[in-house]
Amino acid sequence: MILITGANGQLGHDLKKIFNERKEDYIATDYKELDITNIEAIRKFVSDKHIELIINCAAYNNVDKAEEEKELCYKLNSYAPKDLAIISKELNAEYVTYSTDFVFDGKKGASYTEKDIPNPPSVYAKSKRDGEESVLAVYDKSVVIRTSWVFGIANNNFNKQVINWSRGKDIMSIVDDQISAPTYSYDLAFYTLKLIKTKKYGLYHLSNSGEASKYDQAKYILSKIGWTGTLKRAKSSDFKLLAPRSEYTKLDSSKLEEVIGMKLPTWENGIDRFLDEFEDVIK
């Protein structure tokens, strides 16, 4: 049996979609059914369910608020992923959890591989880095996947914000000094499952291919939806953000591509499929 935690989020939604399409059995939980910060509750929950794979999609993702909610952020992004690794080990189950491109400081000037040393600039990024390290130290049948700028049909994200803003604004300013790769949560789910099948555990990068600034991402979406307003370039320093951001954190996913023997789709292709899905939902 497969257990998904944080299953109502973007990634969890698409994992459920894929398992439903494949008619595979799974147990989906969000914090109401299973709070990942409560190790004893998890231990009790899994005890009679023959769990063979745990996919942890739960996380604390509010990068700015994390500067003020350090404790909660660490509970969700560091301690709980480690506890789930401990429980997976007790069950001899495979375990997958996720981290972020934000663990890098952006100073490399080229895309980041798994061999690059993180230098997390914010509380959120540090909590994720600590989570990665403790999971990989605790259990060797763990997969830790770093991804970036996730968007999907469930939950809120930058794509949906841009579409919303486009409805009420003729002028929009979006930063062009944060560069990475927008990643479709369906692709994150799909290629995670490909990776798990190989049984090659460890640390991986998984982002849609190509790279973009937030400005490029917004420009692509706005042209696709036929917005006729003016899009202006802005800088991160124009906004009073609580958490520092790195400029260039594009992940190099070639290790994963080699292991699964497939190339990842481009971020533009991911956005095209997202917009098709989005149109179906708002019809």
Binding interface with ligand NAP (CB under 6 A): 5-6, 8-11, 30-31, 35-37, 57-59, 61, 76, 98, 100, 147-150, 155, 185
What residue is closest to ligand NAP based on CB? 9
Write down the least CB distance from residue 158 to ligand NAP, Å. 8
Write down the least CB distance from residue 77 to ligand NAP, Å. 7
Q: Is 79 a catalytic residue?
A: no
Place of tokens 């459920």: 16
CB nearer to ligand NAP: give 166 or 180. Answer: 180
Write down the least CB distance from residue 13 to ligand NAP, Å. 8
What are the C-alpha distances in Å from 34 to residues 28, 48, 80, 91, 199? 9, 15, 12, 17, 26
CA-based torsion, 269, 147, 118, 246: positive or negative: positive
Write down the least CB distance from residue 204 to ligand NAP, Å. 13
Q: Which of 124, 186, 191, 248 is catalytic?
A: 124
Write down the least CB distance from residue 230 to ligand NAP, Å. 27
DSSP string, 127-194: HHHHHHHHHHHH-TTEEEEEE-SEE-SSS--HHHHHHHHHHH-SEEEEESS-EE--EEHHHHHHHHHH
Residue 43 structure tokens: 């231990």
Question: CA 233, CA 222: separation in Å to the nearest integer?
Answer: 14
CB nearer to ligand NAP: give 93 or 125. Answer: 125
Question: CA 155, CA 273: separation in Å to the nearest integer?
Answer: 17
Greatest pairwise CA separation for the chain in angstroms: 57
Question: CA 152, CA 64: separation in Å to the nearest integer?
Answer: 21
DSSP conformation class of 105: -
Write down the least CB distance from residue 185 to ligand NAP, Å. 6
Question: CA 33, CA 177: separation in Å to the nearest integer?
Answer: 40
CB nearer to ligand NAP: give 36 or 162. Answer: 36
CB 172 within 8 A of CB 232: yes
Question: CA 132, CA 84: separation in Å to the nearest integer?
Answer: 12
Active site amino acids: 124
